[in-house]
Structure 1
């Protein structure tokens, strides 16, 4: 089997980089459709238009309706056709990016990603996570290529609510654990092929960066300032985790996240918050050494990520509800299959309950 590492055409990160967006992306076309949340569009429009001033390029805007679902993708495809654009630009957060990437794929157009938050590792990937319009996980849409450019203005990201940066750390927390599981099980990455040495090294560096800079970055972000620690965590959440998960592979942690989406009470949580609990559950499921599990729990405790059912808002979940999470996490097409051993819903249920019990020991 081949080894493949996947990455965006260019990853750009730095203070004030949005001011240079024209220089970074004008080679891709002359008519740009910018898709994003209302907040993200308002936050970036002035800077983008100033950058493109006197360029002769056309800029159009369309508000994303907050869920990456088939209905929204089809709606935006009609907008693309009506606007006659030749480049898609996604601004905002993970679901907006995933939607923009899917729309660009179906419309056969290049896509540029401009994160205004660092809450997930979605920006760099050739993947869109598709949900139902009610917010329940549906499927992964695997794309033939990564975004042409990922442009991260760290000043903008540092102004976002600190919970979003922390959620990104939760998503990134699973990267090395899942890549390791895929490697140990001789499983493929998101391309279906094997991980390179570089991918595994980036996944491990992602975890190490969280442990070394996570708390400092959280504290700085609370003050809306961008320190070196914030820069490092933005890179870990966005690039290291993005390349690490896609080129290393996904396993139990993200499958458990998907399972939790069947419980409506968890819909108020961010993706990375559920993934963090899934990451600890994966370690329990794999029977890793207690010291490693403890390290992950204490990291979550230090930055405010969930590590008990109470943190997830499901302290009163019934056995039936938890089994529904376990069954969904082992469903067809789920990444649970990448664990290095056969996993049943009963195994996942037991790991969920054990994770909650362990977590309570550290409260």
Structure 2
């Protein structure tokens, strides 16, 4: 049977400066008893404005500081709170791990889920999955949900006041969306959620890329100065919504497999989005992309501070690169969505070549 095309997205998306002050107004239809699963920084940056949004309301609110890892026991702890406090709605307030734990809590207890990201470092808020870990920090599973989150609320002012390095990493994650989707469409691969890739999904992925190219540099400048501008708002939407919905409805390819290969080394310090950005250049090398397209992506990375060489991600030995290549090409990895498939040796060669081109480009920039 031919694979059915499908589109998935959050039921509601709200974004803007001061959005936290409108939280209750926008979400009150979901219930009256709320559990806020907060990172430490999320609680500090959002608690007061969230409370102001409930001004004069008698809704029950409980704020729990998240333990830092979306682990089996942490999720179970939150499930117990939902049940004992008769919670109607679970709300994630924080970064990726808090979001993953809150999603899982809501899923296992059958409650609605709202996501309030405090950084724009990845597209995790809008996706229909969580990464779950064992209590010792080892990987447990990717938990896929039957639908995407009920609502996302993004306060642009909170993002503007977060360290700019997170926004830059988010743009790196979003950069891969269009190129990974394009590769997956060429091979008629399934979307991330298992359906056929839609034109709408590809259009969103392309709009994500176009937005980054048009407003990325200006958005970085705005975030460096902790102000919300139309350019920053546009890029936040691209990173959080367009990239998340785009990725869900197309699929990943070499960039995310490269990231998974890097994580297999253990103890890495590079941000997810920084690895995905360099992985996008690797994919273009594997695809033998036009010189102009490859250099255009290099231009963008240099413009906003994303890596174009391996040394910007960390110190890797030749043995490390072979390990990365082997694990990035493991069975089930999305790099196999590329036409002609990719062997570990081919990926290793592409990594070396991409790094060499990046070092050559940096030398040229330094001489200019």
TM-score between the two structures when normalised by the length of structure 2: 0.93
2:321 corresponds to 1:322? yes
Measured in 2, the distance between the counterparts of 1:87 and 1:255 equals 34
Question: In the TM superposition, what is the alpha-carbon distance from 1:298 to its structure 2 partner?
Answer: 1.7
Question: Aligned match of 2:189 in 170, 184, 187?
Answer: 187
Question: In the TM superposition, what is the alpha-carbon distance from 1:281 to its structure 2 partner?
Answer: 1.2
Contact 1:217 1:227 (8 Å CA) reproduced: yes
2:364 corresponds to 1:362? no
Q: Secondary structure at the match of 1:360?
A: helix
Question: In the TM superposition, what is the alpha-carbon distance from 1:288 to its structure 2 partner?
Answer: 1.4
Question: In the TM superposition, what is the alpha-carbon distance from 1:265 to its structure 2 partner?
Answer: 4.6
What corresponds to 1:260 in structure 2?
A: 262
Question: In the TM superposition, what is the alpha-carbon distance from 1:284 to its structure 2 partner?
Answer: 1.2
- Structure 1 unaligned blocks of 5 or more: none
Question: In the TM superposition, what is the alpha-carbon distance from 1:54 to its structure 2 partner?
Answer: 2.7
What corresponds to 1:203 in structure 2?
A: 205
Larger deviation: 269-278 or 201-210? 269-278
Question: Aligned match of 1:66 in 65, 68, 79?
Answer: 68
Listed as ranges, the matches of 1:1-363 within 5 Å are 1-131=3-133, 139-266=141-268, 268-314=269-315, 317-363=316-362
Question: In the TM superposition, what is the alpha-carbon distance from 1:343 to its structure 2 partner?
Answer: 1.6
Superposition RMSD in Å: 1.7
Larger deviation: 180-189 or 275-284? 275-284
Q: Deviations over 1:60-115 (max 9, x none)?
A: 11112222333433333233333331211001122221221122112211100011
Measured in 2, the distance between the counterparts of 1:63 and 1:282 equals 39
Q: 1:138 to 1:348 in 2, by over 3 A?
A: farther
Q: Secondary structure at the match of 2:235?
A: helix
What corresponds to 2:366 in structure 1?
A: none
Measured in 2, the distance between the counterparts of 1:339 and 1:262 equals 21
Measured in 1, the distance between the counterparts of 2:57 and 2:279 equals 47
Question: In the TM superposition, what is the alpha-carbon distance from 1:331 to its structure 2 partner?
Answer: 2.2
Larger deviation: 221-230 or 96-105? 96-105
Question: In the TM superposition, what is the alpha-carbon distance from 1:132 to its structure 2 partner?
Answer: 5.4
Question: In the TM superposition, what is the alpha-carbon distance from 1:139 to its structure 2 partner?
Answer: 4.1
Q: Secondary structure at the match of 1:190?
A: coil
Q: 1:92 to 1:261 in 2, by over 3 A?
A: same
Measured in 1, the distance between the counterparts of 2:326 and 2:136 equals 19
Question: In the TM superposition, what is the alpha-carbon distance from 1:133 to its structure 2 partner?
Answer: 5.5
Q: Secondary structure at the match of 1:130?
A: strand
Question: In the TM superposition, what is the alpha-carbon distance from 1:120 to its structure 2 partner?
Answer: 0.8
Measured in 2, the distance between the counterparts of 1:79 and 1:333 equals 36
Contact 1:90 1:100 (8 Å CA) reproduced: yes
Aligned residues: 360
Measured in 1, the distance between the counterparts of 2:324 and 2:229 equals 39
Q: Secondary structure at the match of 1:362?
A: helix
- Structure 2 unaligned blocks of 5 or more: 363-368
Q: 1:63 to 1:186 in 2, by over 3 A?
A: same
Measured in 1, the distance between the counterparts of 2:328 and 2:139 equals 10
Larger deviation: 131-140 or 305-314? 131-140
Contact 1:136 1:262 (8 Å CA) reproduced: no
Q: Secondary structure at the match of 2:152?
A: strand
